[in-house]
Amino acid sequence: MPVVSPNTSIMPVTARVDENGHLLIGDCDTIELAQRFGTPLWVMDEETILQAGRALAEGLSVYPNARGLYAGKAFLCMAMCHLVKQMGMGLDVVSEGEMFTATQAGFPKDLLYVHGNNKSEPELHYAIAADGPKIVVDSLSELEMCARIAEELQARAKILIRVIPDVEPDTHHHIVTGHATSKFGVPLDELDEVIKVAKAKSKQIELLGLHAHIGSQSKELEPFLETVDILADLYRDAKAKHDLDFPLLDVGGGLGITYIEADKPAPIFEWARKVAEQTLSAFKARGLNLPELLVEPGRSVIGPAGTTLYTVGHTKKLPDGTDYIAVDGGMADNPRPITYGAKYTARVANRMNSGSSKSPAAIVGRYCESGDIIVEEAYLSAQTGDLIAVFATGAYNYSMASNYNRTGRPACVLVREGQAEIIIERETNADLISKDRVPERLKG
């Protein structure tokens, strides 16, 4: 059976249309989901997530000791932690909140990798005291802070050093992270100094290896393979200059997904296989022992699994012919279009067989910003009460959502084989004011 790579499809792998023209995901009728749970609604397809995990694992299987790391920042809740554990993946976290979520879900501490360019002292204390998480150090000053905290705790911090490989992928400039002027990582010409400090503080620092990450939503293979070669050179230099044989290698990732038909990302299986093969050949060519290989497939695991459902409110046609379809969500549940100019594919979920419109309409949100446009050119016709499905919203929608205009964030449901279960509850008006406090002097 061929390996399915969900990141090459716009819709979830279980998406289909029934005899009524309704969109089904995970054998759940999206119209019934909207009626039961309300809209806006994030729908996560469990099978799409699991198939992405299987494709990744199969691609990496040619390497003797490899593991994928899931990007918690893309989408994280306790249910997702359980799925990541089920897939045998590690988990990248970037805050104390993400670490807390993972540990509360019972996620293995030794499979947590702590990222971020400005980790706070409490966050580092939390990670080191947990005795298991690996800290991806971003600077010399952070390394020194880790050593100090470890000494105070009479512990030993498990460390990888993030380097700047000076490789730029094919993606939006806001999500490129591997270029020479990136805010993330240690410049290559400063790496020797950082390694020397780590060796000098070996009682507090257990230096496990190096990490690099070139960006997010990259669709081409070549930048990833180039990064592997750069890291292999650094491991050769670490052996020659510092007599270090690192046991771990994290080559990063950030593989892209298909948002619109024009997107042609490398399939997750092919990406993982090529990265694994490149690592094997690069380390063999340099006479190095093979470290445990870690890869970060990024949004490609969760992005294709998500679909956002909206209900159409008012529609209008302007004198210049522009059609507007207003829905009950927008930039508060999906800030990516207004932030990155991100593009999405949308369909009318209750009339999937209605065909496309010859002229485009703009699907706009309900928020008080002119830039609150979800899909600028959607070739569909919709009327009040229709259900709009926007695909590939599994990554960076919930995690970047806000309470703009004092609105509650939507619910999120996980669907599988006809079953739909809430994994994140909808925020209520009471939730919105739960942290408000009024000084006594203002109470009249």
Catalytic residues: 368
3-state secondary structure the chain: CCCCCHHHCCCCCCCEECCCCCEEECCEEHHHHHHHHCCCEEEEEHHHHHHHHHHHHHHHCCCCCEEEEEECCCCCCHHHHHHHHHCCCEEEECCHHHHHHHHHCCCCHHHEEECCCCCCHHHHHHHHHCCCCEEEECCHHHHHHHHHHHHHHCCCEEEEEEEECCCCCCCCHHHECCCCCCCCCEEHHHHHHHHHHHHHCCCCEEEEEEECCCECCECCCHHHHHHHHHHHHHHHHHHHHHCCCCCEEEEEECECCCCCCCCCCCCHHHHHHHHHHHHHHHHHHCCCCCCEEEEECHHHCCHHHEEEEEEEEEEEECCCCCEEEEECCCCCCCCHHHHHCCCCCEEECCCCCCCCCCCCEEEECCCCCCCCEEEEEECCCCCCCCEEEEECCCCCCCCCCCCHHHCCCCEEEEEECCEEEEEECCCCHHHHHCCCCCCHHHCC
Closest CA to 235 of 210, 260, 259: 210
- CA end-to-end distance (rounded Å), the chain: 71
Q: Give the type of residue at 426.
A: R
Tokens of 281: 């050949």
In sequence order, the 6+-apart residues with CB closer than 8 A to the CB of 1 are: none
Tokens of 50: 């699991």
* Burial bucket for residue 130 (CB in 10 Å: 0-12, 13-18, 19+): middle
How is the beta sheet containing 28-29 ordered, strand by strand? 16-17, 23-25, 28-29
For residue 380, give the amino acid letter: L
Could you tell me how many residues make up the chain? 444
